[in-house]
Chain A
Amino acid sequence: MIDIGYFGAVFIFAVGVLMSLSVVVYVVFNYYRYKGKDAIDEK
């Protein structure tokens, strides 16, 4: 095991939170984008 130290752990935490927020924002944004619409194929 490599010891990444405290700042390594903080970095993993920060990246994890950012990635989690990205998933939430992407899903919620697209939910509102497609709300009430059928899935219409783009050309």
Chain B
Amino acid sequence: MQPFISVTTALVVVGAISIMLLSFGFFINKKLIKNSNDFLYAGRNVGLAFSTATLIAAWVTGNTTMAAPEQGYTLGLIACFGYASAGLPLIIFAPLALRIKKLMPNGCTSGDFIRIRFGKAVWGLYLLLSAWYFLGCLMTQAMAGGILLQALAGTPYLLGMLTIMLVCTIYTLKGGLKAVMATDYILSLLILGMLFITAVMAYTRFGAGDVYEGVMTLVPERMNLITSAGLMYLGSNFLFAAGEIFHSNQWWQRVYAAKESVAAKSFILSGLIWMTVPIVAGALAFVAISNNYVVPQVNMVFPIVVSQLLGPIGSVLVLIIIYAALASTVSSILTSSSNLIVQDIFKQLINPNISNEQLIKYNRVVIVALSVFAVALTWKQRTSMYQLLLLTGPAVASMVWPIAYGIFNQHTNRVAAFWAMLLGMSCGLVTYFVISSYAAPVVSAVVSCLVLVCGTALKPDQRFRWKDLNEVHAPKEGA
């Protein structure tokens, strides 16, 4: 396939964004990082604009920009709406965010909540499922970096994959969550602005009517809103996304970082804004279908469509959008996962008296280790990013009910929570391989809900007290 831009142009664009990100990381490390609270929770004083922007940037992943068009291309219009429904869990997380702020004002990780609320067995299972998710997610982002540069400039897959991972690792190492949030602010503006310019340019050139006619002539079933795969996708996507958001330390860390007065508002705003992104990106897939573009790999729909439509300018726009989306997500996963591993495993099991300096040092070591591990796992290119991500669906969907129920119901049975997660995940996994990857989150969430609600009704927990959650203490400032 003929590259759309030269390797030099691609490297100049990637280099410019990388230099901006690295400069931010170094600047923030030098000027603004005074203690581990700054590194891990951005000082716990983040306002509405920064909080909203960082939530948007973290949730607009390489999957949103690349997998939404992939889904639109393979499943049709219903998939675009299905993908957009993943914005709703951000909005629904707002009441949970408020409650978390009240219950655990000094909380450090999502693991803290699980450990105190449900005990060590559930906590151990949670850490395993969580690692399953963040590694899967990190792998898809790394893959997206490789595929992006390969599709646009014809560079080897490994070059793009290694570049994105290297740059994100370095700037996350330097500035921690503060650098991630500051860059997220710029990256989210960049993503939203560039994406809308791209969509307007594409539809101005072809016209919505022509695109519709083209799709109806060539592949009319793509406009069918009740295809079987599309329906399953639409029915499961909310539960999958809710699982991702409710359990992941990525979002809990942002709750702890935000001021109490803005935590809920920022989740609502970011959810509303986010929902437009997969619809706009996914809509471009119909331009590809109507023009009968050759798409050698479904992952490449977005870069190929925009580059064919808009020439080299389109390629540069795509490169900026996806690189920005990938950078914000990779750095966000790295900070939240390293924080979870150090606080929940190292601090709880090995050294409870860890100092502030050690906390930052170990976080940095884990960030590097996670990056290296993700690179090793994605060294070989895989066919579909989204199918890989869907493999985490059974794990995350099994945690939706234990977390929501555990946050509001004092008598949630901890043994039932354990079996809800384990059985939900197992049944979901069997469904993934036996029936459909789209049905897996539904089965996982249903089984988990039934086990948890029945277990709690039969034997309500009488030991737990809300005030137990207040035992978590944030690292002391000033170290």
A interface list, Cβ under 8 A from B = 1-2, 4-6, 8-10, 12-17, 19-20, 22-24, 26-28, 30-31, 33-34, 38-42
Nearest A residue (CB) for B410: A42
Nearest B residue (CB) for A5: B228
Contact A39 B92 (CB under 8 A): no
Q: How many angstroms from the CA of A2 to the CA of B234 in the assembled complex?
A: 20
Contact B408 A30 (CB under 8 A): yes
Partner of B231, one of A9, A23, A28, A38: A9
Determine how close the nearest CB of chain B comes to the CB of A8; give it in whole angstroms: 8
Q: How many angstroms from the CA of A6 to the CA of B354 in the assembled complex?
A: 56
Contact A20 B239 (CB under 8 A): yes
Interface of B is mostly: helix
Contact A13 B231 (CB under 8 A): yes
Which of the segments B150-158, B187-195, B301-309, B434-442 contacts the partner chain? B434-442
Contact B404 A19 (CB under 8 A): no
A-B contact sample (14 more), CB < 8 A, given A1-B436, A28-B92, A40-B466: A8-B228, A12-B231, A12-B236, A12-B436, A12-B439, A15-B442, A16-B239, A23-B92, A30-B408, A31-B95, A34-B99, A34-B408, A39-B467, A41-B466
Q: How many angstroms from the CA of A25 to the CA of B96 in the assembled complex?
A: 13
Contact B235 A12 (CB under 8 A): yes
Contact A22 B235 (CB under 8 A): no
Partner of B95, one of A14, A15, A20, A30: A30
Known: A2-B435, A23-B404, A41-B465. A15 touches B446 (CB 8 A): yes
Determine how close the nearest CB of chain A comes to the CB of B261; give it in whole angstroms: 14
A-chain residues with CB within 8 Å of residue B411 when the two chains form the complex: 42
Ranked nearest first, the 10 interchain pairs of A and B with the lowest CB-CB distance are A16-B235, A9-B228, A31-B95, A13-B235, A39-B466, A13-B231, A20-B238, A30-B408, A16-B442, A41-B465
Nearest A residue (CB) for B434: A2
Contact A10 B95 (CB under 8 A): no
B-chain residues with CB within 8 Å of residue A19 when the two chains form the complex: 239, 442, 445-446, 449
Determine how close the nearest CB of chain B comes to the CB of A28; give it in whole angstroms: 7
